[in-house]
Structure 1
Amino acid sequence: MKKLLMLLICGLLWAGVLNAQQTQYMVFEFIKVEKDHLFDYIEFKDLMEKVYRQALNDKIINGWDIWRLQNGADQGNFQYVMVTYFNDPVKMMNGMEDETMIEYTKIAYPHLSDSQVRTLFQQALALKDAPMRLYMRQLASTNDNFQFRPGVLASFDLMKAVEGKFGDYEKAEIEVFMPIHQNRINQGMMGHWSFLRAALPQGSEAKSTHLTVNLFKDYMQFFNAQAYEDMNQTAEQREAVNAGLNSRDQKWVYLATLENVVR
């Protein structure tokens, strides 16, 4: 009996470890690029892709993307969104030190000298400004096999839970809205959906507390999803949807196209 109890406890602990390992953390950097540097930014993206691919090979990160913004409330300030994926909150907060990135740059450009690599790296960093950075933890996601490749579309929806309805909002996203998105995916009208919460404590003046990521393989799928209406919803389901909508404020919606990806 004791042996069985110990096996059960070990099984529960191992399940907890696996769950912790599967939790995904993401850093969203909304990037501002001056208009006269937009062409140079192409070289920056290619450089960063090579650097982050080395970081992925060394298991420092889980993945990396650069998205070009199509619209949004701050379109005049932000032109790109860079997303870096981690499986550990400590790795997320530490990020990658400049020296580590320079070493990866040397690997990516073995024909350059040390001074040339450092100059290239500093020139690349000077092209961008990231005035808004979000540290997020994924709470839920749909069951799908969406493939990240250049050209796919994303809708990044920044939300703020209504004061006093934080728990209600998260419950609504997971129990009400996620099944709706899963149904769209099953019908081929969407690629992927995930729900994220700010990983750092925030005060009442925070502009957003949560983020939903909606992914589509192309514009046809995107517009079909916008026109989708579930006519089979019951009155109870519609009431739950409305309650969920009333528990949060949709602050900004950014439509973006994937340009560079490391997986």
Structure 2
Amino acid sequence: MSANLFRGYCLHSLSRRLFILIASIAWLLILTPIADAQTAGNQQVFVSATFFKVKPGKNEAYVDMVKNTAHKVLEYRFKQKAILGWYFYEVLMTGDEEKKYDYVAVTVSTNFADLVEYPTPTRDLYMKAVSGAPKDGFDKFVAQINDLRTLVKREVYIHRAGINENTPVSKYVQIDYMKTVPGKVQDYIKTERDVYYPIHQERIKLHALTDWGLYEKLLPVSINADSDFVTANFFDDLKSLIDPKYEEAFNNIPHNVDFAKMTEMVEQLRKMVRSDIWKLVDYVDQNNTK
């Protein structure tokens, strides 16, 4: 699955300068690179994010159907070791002027092909997962859920840094969308791993975050895409948006650098496009499924 006072649209100038200085300071530290996703067998981890817009007046019915029926299908897939986890979020705020989506379903897996080829449950999977389902149960489920919401978009990401798989599920996540400068992708990944992540680790110790992750978008491919990376900043208390504890984390890291030069270096790698705030509604993973 960076964070600073909802940076996409409500970050005041002082916090912005502090964030840049922190990243700049850490740039010169000699740090051990952070490995990619650490799972059983050190397999690479992929994430599918599906965005939905709920039809007017259908919010409660949609959430009930997801929690009571879709949950069973995803729980079955988890028990069959087809996925590592599934997380269903309500979108509280987005950085867009128009809120284009209301909910996001996130599926985590080591099987890239499966995430791409089977974005929704198949009839066979539904019948196995939903005990006692009638023969026409799948068709009714599809018709009912399509009457409640519309699909906005689907994206598939590869995990690049961060995330402690033993961290309990967090109540909130801030998604920051990043656009890298052409030719600077590898430099940007290194910056997130070697510069930002150690600062976030300090913030986790200070209880401002519970976890953090960096993801690179693989699909869909578009030369006009406004972002090609996201960072996920997990926390349990919305006060973390007001007091992100960057300054305390900064003070825990030795520094002696030319601020202006380092600031320029960081800004030449990427720009922050916007931020979302999501709230967890339902999930399936090792924390609640055996």
Report the TM-score when normalising by structure 2: 0.74
Partner of 2:75: 53
Specify the alignment match of 2:244 in structure 1: 225
Q: Does 1:38 align with 2:59?
A: yes
Q: 1:214 to 1:52 in 2, by over 3 A?
A: same
When Rg is computed on C-alpha atoms for both structures, the one with the higher figure is 1
Of 85, 109, 112, 2:108 maps to 85
Q: How does 1:59-98 map to 2 (within 5 A)?
A: 59-74=81-96, 76-96=99-119, 98=121
Measured on the aligned residues, the alpha-carbon RMSD in Å equals 2.6
CA distance in 1 between partners of 2:279 and 2:117 (Å): 27
Q: Tell me the CA shift for residue 226 of structure 1.
A: 5.8
* Cα distance, 1:33 vs structure 2: 1.1
How much does 1:48 deviate?
Answer: 1.3
Matched, 1:175 2:194: yes
Among 110, 122, 128, the alignment partner of 2:149 is: 128
TM-score w.r.t. the length of structure 1 is 0.81
Instruction: Establish whether residue 244 from structure 1 lines up as the match of residue 263 from structure 2.
Output: no
User: Quick one: structure 1 residues 237 and 148, their matched pair in 2 at CA, closer, same or farther if it must change by over 3 Å?
Assistant: farther
Identity %: 22
Secondary structure of 1:41 counterpart: helix
Q: Distance in 2 between matches of 1:224 and 1:73?
A: 20
Structure 1 residues 242 and 68: CA distance shift in structure 2, 3 A: farther
Tell me which moved more, 39-48 or 172-181. Answer: 39-48
Is the contact between residue 144 and residue 191 of structure 1 (CA under 8 Å) also seen in structure 2?
no
Give the drift of 1:96. 4.8
Q: Give a deviation string over 1:196-238, Cα, whole Å, max 9, x none.
A: 1112473432221111111002223443326645245524385
Tell me the amino acid that sits aligned with residue 217 of structure 1.
D
Deviation digits for residues 230-262 of structure 1 (CA, Å, limit 9, x no counterpart): 245524385546633441121120001100000
Asked whether the equivalents of residues 190 and 222 of structure 1 are also in contact (C-alpha less than 8 Å), the reply is no
- SS of the residue corresponding to residue 236 of structure 1 reads coil
Q: Which amino acid aligns with 2:94?
A: G
Read off the aligned partner of 2:257 and give its amino acid letter.
Answer: E
Q: Deviations over 1:44-83 (max 9, x none)?
A: 2212111110111112211101111111134522111110
- Higher share of residues assigned helix: 1
Deviation at 1:98, TM superposition (A): 4.3
Return the structure number with greater relative CO, CA threshold 8 A, min gap 6: 2
Structure 1 residue 105: Cα displacement:
3.4
134-143 or 237-246: bigger deviation: 237-246
Q: Is the 8 A contact 1:159 1:250 kept in 2?
A: yes
Distance in structure 2 (CA, Å) of the matches to 1:38 and 1:28: 19
The corresponding residue for 2:280 is 258
Structure 2 residue aligned with 1:12: none
Matched, 1:212 2:234: no
SS in structure 1 of the partner of residue 257 of structure 2: helix
Q: Give the equivalent residue in structure 1 for 2:207.
A: 188
Q: CA deviation at 1:106?
A: 3.3
Letter in 2 for 1:140: A
C-alpha contact (below 8 Å) 2:179/2:270 kept by paired residues: yes
Among residues 124, 127, 136, which one is paired with 1:106 in the alignment?
127
| Partner of residue 139 from structure 2, selected from 112, 118, 133 | 118
1:139-150 pair list within 5 angstroms: 139-143=160-164, 145-148=166-169
Cα distance in structure 2, aligned partners of 1:179 and 1:237: 20
**For residues 95 and 174 of structure 1, what CA distance do their matches in structure 2 show?**
31
